[in-house]
Amino acid sequence: MVKDSRHASGPASEERTSIRAIAAFSGGLDSTLAATLVHRTGIGVLLLHVKHLWSGGREAEERLRAAADRVGLPLRIVDASVDHLDVVRHPKHGYGAGVNPCVDCHIFMLKIAKRLMEEEGAHFVVTGEVLGQRPKSQHYKALLEVAEESGLGSRLVRPLSANLLPDTLPVERGWLRREDLLSIQGRGRDAQQALAERLGIRDYPQPAGGCLLTERVYATRVRDAFAHVGKDNVGAEEFELLGVGRHFRLSEDFKVIVGRDEGENAALTRLAGGRVRMEPVEVMGPTVLVEGLPSVDDLALVAALASRYCDHAGRDPIQWRVLRSGSETLLDAVPLDPADPRIAGWRLGG
């Protein structure tokens, strides 16, 4: 299910041209530079951001809109969160170091860009990709493969590295000139920063940690979920839950999630669904979810593990409220010794 929302920015007197482009836009430096370079040739540019589960929430969207305002270009946000999940579950081109299907993600997003190009009567699509910047998705062969499989072919332009790649339709038609395009490659940022200075682009975010799907801890949890509940049973809420709290696989039958702070405790309560939920009664401590089919003895072990994370000195028993299938019971447990070697073995991702 794909939804879109429109956000127009820039002066009302913005020049109307016969040639128009759709520019994939993350709000980062590379996509900003690519869109700006093309726009400065006199071509009309519409920014496109494809929203998915890992692209950030409301604050990220506000930053994105502010970035579009700074470059004075209209922005379209397309919400493809639901459709994107299948790309993560079943990537044709496989995963990177984590569970990041980068090639498939680029193809997916560029198919949306192609559709928007056709709907808007635009002529080509622009991205901020740089040859050699990402080992999984931005080497020479992958860039050509993405262009072909997205259906854009020679209508896909990467202005920052275009002079290192085959000619595209806009160059062949004279809409863009080679001298308007660049030959940047590799993972360094000096060339982009120098270009930003020359173009007067100074307020841009520094490179961050990247997509959550590339992170080792999160990837370990995703693989565990795929193995125990099946890829097609991991939906949007399950993917969100995998990013919250400490996760422990105590057996093949059940998993435990332990909140780390007040915000995570609230998130676990919101995402509990049909899972067993546990809370300490008289001490400060984590909200706990148990996923799977735990026995009564299993829940006693869970309570002992979770008690280790309560604000409680010593090894006196801690009482837990256990909420399961609409019923509530109480359970006392002595905290596990923090040095118990089983804890490290249970923990998913670290």
pLDDT tens figures, 92-101: 999 998 999 9
Q: 130 vs 64, 154, 237, 300, CA distance in Å?
A: 21, 17, 33, 53
Note whether residue 341 is domain-resident: yes
Q: Is a pLDDT exceeding 90 seen at residue 259?
A: yes
Same domain? 149 vs 39: yes
Q: In terms of DSSP bridges, do strands 276-280 and 288-292 run parallel, antiparallel, or are they unpaired? A: antiparallel
For residues 221 and 149, membership in a common domain is answered with: no
Q: Same domain, yes or no, for 317 and 168? A: no
As for how many domains the chain has, the answer is 2
Q: What is the pLDDT of residues 27-44, one digit of tens each?
A: 999 999 999 999 999 999
- Cβ 37 vs Cβ 159: under 8 Å: yes
Residue 227 within any structural domain of the chain: yes
Q: State which of 137, 168, 199 marks the end of a domain.
A: 199
Residue type, 62: E
Domain that holds residue 175: 3-199
Do 166 and 231 share a domain, yes or no?
Answer: no
Instruction: Please give the distance of CA 248 from its chain centroid, rounded to a whole number.
Output: 23
86 neighbors 108 (Cβ within 8 angstroms):
no
Q: What is the pLDDT of residue 8?
A: 40
Of 141, 172, 199, the last residue of a domain is: 199
> How does DSSP classify residue 209?
S
Q: Look at 319 and 138; give whichever has higher pLDDT.
A: 319
Whether the predicted pLDDT of 311 surpasses 50 = yes
- As a three-state string, the secondary structure of 157-171 is ECCCCHHHCCCCHHH
Q: Does residue 115 sit in the same domain as residue 140?
A: yes
Q: 292 pLDDT exceeds 80?
A: yes
Label residue 208 by pLDDT band (50, 70, 90).
Answer: low
